[in-house]
Amino acid sequence: MTGQHQRTTSPVTFRRRRLVVLALLVTLLAATATGSRWVMTADGVRSTAPAQGGLAAAARGSLTNPSASAQSRPPAAAKPGGPLTITASGPGHLAPGSDPSVLPGPILIADEKNNRLLIIDPHGRSLWQFPRPGDLAAGQTFTIPDDAFFTPNGKQIVATEEDDQVVRVIDVATHMIVYTYGTPGVPGSGPNHLNNPDDAVMLPAGDIVVPDIKNCRIIMIPMGGHAISRQLGRTGTCVHRPPQTFGSPNGVFPMSNGNYLVTEINGSWVSEMNLSGRLAWSAHLQSVAYPSDANQIGPDRYLTVDYSRPGQILTFDHTGQVLWRYAPTGGQALNKPSLALPLPNGDVLANDDANNRVIVVDPRTNRVVWQYGHTHVAGSSAGFLNNPDGLDLYPPSSELVTRAATMGAVPQS
């Protein structure tokens, strides 16, 4: 058929085509509204962005008791590259007024008193859980996980069971414990023993750095090893004089310059040093009773929490000057928050342990803009937590993935 002799479309055919096109558009819009799809490549680059579902940012407000679930959505998929595949299931479970768009992706939660790790998406839907029935081998235990972080390659999780005296490495794809350091239930300071370890992190080469609180030391464990390769601090001497001694260290977080930020409970100190023990500075946080897990959020900007009742979240500089503080009172008071992490949009993600919730705070308004968990109510069913004590963002936004290029290695001398 030539251009000069094209068949003229009849009115009936034209109307039918319009109906088909409209039907396709309705189907496409419905699919877009029902959920979001998360696809992560093996090197941690997000290849498909999430849909901006949920409540509009303009509707942000202070969240109160999350007695109702967030608007439910059909399951969505999160597919990290390689062997990692996680899929959302069930409806969302967020506090009313929560804005899912404040999160860059899913989050990992160490739900301590429920003896489990969870990955949930920004809508509060379950993506992954450990352990499931059958995940633990004969004789294995997994109790009271205190902290959990993705490894620098994003494929495993380092979980610290502080009160059980062990550090575990869990493979996300296989749901298997692939490494353990420590003797479950037996505190100590010799080979393969710890005494209230906290916030273990893995270096890119596989070594693990552990602040060992009651031994008052920071230890480094070679990949797969069961004896330490290096130690900072003197075992049992619990006073602030780094790097010779530490006053109950509870956090050793990597910085952008290759150094590490060390938090000490005794005396409320935060220090910058490298893994050889070379000290850059120490800041005394006089207004913080129990500092926990300080980490860097920018040039000379650091974020920490006060693990107290009432608690607080604050930022400070290397002199200890407080730059911002979130310390609500009354029914919204924090109750032993143990970790806060920065979000790419400038908000702060934190676990409010004894209030049984994980929250996002907008520092510009000092309001909670997202919440998972029911304030003051512990539980284990969907939407509930029981003393959540650890957090991480899903790769590529996770703490150790973002710092992998500058974390360095354990010194050899």
Percent of the chain clearing pLDDT 70 (strictly above): 79
Q: Which residue has the tokens 């130690």?
A: 231
96-151 residue pLDDT tens: 999 999 999 999 999 999 999 999 999 999 999 999 999 999 999 999 999 999 99
365-376 residue pLDDT tens: 999 999 999 999
The three state secondary structure string of 276-315 is CCCEEEEEECCCCCCEEEEEEEECCEEEEEECCCCCEEEE
Kindly indicate the confidence band of residue 85, based on its pLDDT and cuts at 50, 70 and 90: low
Please count the other Cβ atoms lying within 10 Å of the Cβ belonging to residue 153. Answer: 17
- 230 Cβ neighbours under 8 A, 6+ residues apart: 219, 220, 275, 410, 411
Q: What distance, in Å, lies between the first and last C-alpha atoms of the chain? A: 82
Whether the pLDDT of residue 76 is over 80: the answer is: no
Cα separations (Å) of 105 from 26, 113, 336, 343?
27, 25, 25, 10
Tell me the sheet residues that pair with 281: 272
- What is the predicted pLDDT for the residue at 406? 96
Per the CB < 8 A criterion, the answer to whether 117 and 130 are in contact is yes
- What is the predicted pLDDT for the residue at 78? 32
Best mean pLDDT range from 39-53, 56-70, 80-94, 359-373: 359-373
- What is the predicted pLDDT for the residue at 61? 43
Report the alpha-carbon distance of residue 92 to residue 70 in Å, rounded. 6
- What is the predicted pLDDT for the residue at 268? 99
> Torsion over CA of 176, 177, 179 and 183, rounded to 10 degrees?
-160
Least confident of 64-73, 185-194, 199-208, 277-286: 64-73
May I ask the CATH class of domain 73-406?
A: mainly beta
Whether the pLDDT of residue 321 is over 90: the answer is: yes
